[in-house]
Chains A and B, each alone.
Chain A
Amino acid sequence: MTQSLNYFKETPSQTAGPYVHIGCTPNFSGLNGVFSEDLGVKILNDQAEGTRITVRGVVYDGKGAPIKDALVEIWQADAKGLFNSPSEIRGAADPNFSGWGRCPGEMESGEFVFETIKPGVVPFKDGRPMAPHITFWIVARGINIGLHTRMYFPEEIDANAADPILSRIDHKSRVPTLIATQNGSEYRFDIHLQGDNETVFFDI
């Protein structure tokens, strides 16, 4: 006999279902008058430091159809690479930038849009720099457990090549699934749940 570890099991995930918007973005779904505003709508205010960018995309299913009931959340560092989080111990992040955004897919097109800033560099646990990136979390009807992934920036060619996470991907042909396309300050990051372009999702 040994002592018990006395750890609990994590509560099992269940799908967000078709009506996740009622709970997470009720004003968006037309359920007005309960919450003053939906959380995660605004990531920054006018005083936030950094380069303004827009990130758009669509989550596609295995037949290439846009998913219209998805909810997408992002989490990222500020322009200096610091997180606005109690767990951030490296310094004080920009108080004008929350780093967290939440957007439901538009009900007809499925497109999500985030108005944010380009994040700075965050160190990996061994001190090597990670290329600038935005963490994504995706839930929808039919997704049993939320999907984690990252968006990287196409102009960061050298930093991406040295990134400790991207370099962990065995099939180099899959790396581009994590890199947005750019048009000025607009970035496009489509997410494919299946198929040849299936996005690399993380068990992290």
Chain B
Amino acid sequence: MSNEKRAQGAFFQRDRNWHAPAYTPTYKTSVLRSPQKALLSLDNSISEMTGPVFGHNQIGELDNDLILNFSQNGELPVGERIIVHGRVMDERGLPVKGALLELWQANAGGRYRHKKETYLAPLDPNFGGCGRTITDDNGDYHFRTIKPGPYPWPNGVNDWRPAHIHFSVFGDGFAQRLITQMYFEGDPLIWKCPIVQTIPSEEAVRQLIAPLDMGNTIPMDSLAYKFDIVLRGRRSTMFDNRREGN
């Protein structure tokens, strides 16, 4: 099946039991921000099967290198140097090429560079905390960054976010639109986090934990973590006769 044909079908329905429900009172902000009425379930129309395309010309050379993309006067940010890489594929295991990935994170001390951020850990003058890239023909991507620190947040009296990187993912259809978070293997805070706990099953949480990838570390330079991302798959179009009579 050619990729061109594959990029036309409707998407598999979302498994709403795999994802977090909207209302998760241990994550308090969700209480007033969760729709209370039933969602209207619909098969995709062309409006959701299509999606914008992003070109490499929109992306700068250092956009995927958070170690250098905010560095001042050639000085480097503080923290563990890491490579984060992986593949974006769909539920059928097919690579999603040309996917736009945008990521954001705190610095090594757990502090975000944002006007509304008040945590007492200091900003790092050489770290901005945002990056973006587009997957190649195999669906592969890579970033270089520093490992973010955990940070406390106002929810319970003493809740801490595990170290994490936020990912925004754009596949080839608007129905695939996804925002998620990547966690790091071995972090004891993962299983204590109310935001992680919004996800119903341990198996689903494990899908967000990137393993250390010693094979892809750069000796004397950077550790590596591998984070694969799965987007909704498309139905085969073999017996679909839609789009006639246009």
Contact = CB atoms under 8 A, between A and B. Distances in A.
A87 B70 contact: no
Interface in B2-35: 4, 7-8, 10, 12-16, 18-22, 24, 27, 29-35
Interface stretch (A1-9, A109-117, A179-187): A1-9
Contacts of B47: 75-77, 83, 122, 130, 133, 135, 150
B175 interface: yes
B239 to A, nearest CB: 13
Contacts of B129: 22, 31
Nearest to B117: A19
A198 B35 contact: yes
Max count, chain A CB within 10 A of own CB: residue among B7, B36, B114:
B114
B39 interface: yes
A84 interface: yes
Given A12-B20, A146-B177, A204-B175, A22 B52 contact: no
Contacts of B232: 10
Interface residues of A, number: 84
B42 A202 contact: yes
Contacts of A107: 115-116
Contact of A7 (B112, B180, B233, B242): B233
Given A29-B114, A34-B70, A144 B166 contact: no
B208 interface: yes
B35 A23 contact: no
Given A8-B93, A34-B128, A198-B36, A75 B60 contact: no
Interface stretch (A49-57, A60-68, A154-162): A60-68
Interface string A78-91: 00000111111110
A174 B231 CA distance: 31
A26 B127 CA distance: 13
Contacts of A48: none
Nearest to A165: B42
Interface of B: 4, 7-8, 10, 12-16, 18-22, 24, 27, 29-37, 39-54, 58, 60, 62-63, 69-70, 89-93, 100, 102-104, 112-117, 128-132, 166, 168-169, 172-175, 177-181, 195-196, 198-199, 204-205, 207-208, 229-233, 240, 242-246
Given A9-B18, A22-B104, A87-B173, 12 more contacts: A10-B178, A11-B230, A14-B208, A22-B129, A127-B244, A139-B179, A142-B33, A144-B19, A169-B40, A194-B33, A194-B36, A204-B44
Interface of A: 6-24, 26, 29-31, 33-36, 39, 61-63, 65, 67, 69, 73, 75-77, 83-90, 98-100, 107, 122-127, 130, 133, 135, 137, 139-148, 150, 165, 168-169, 174, 193-194, 198-204
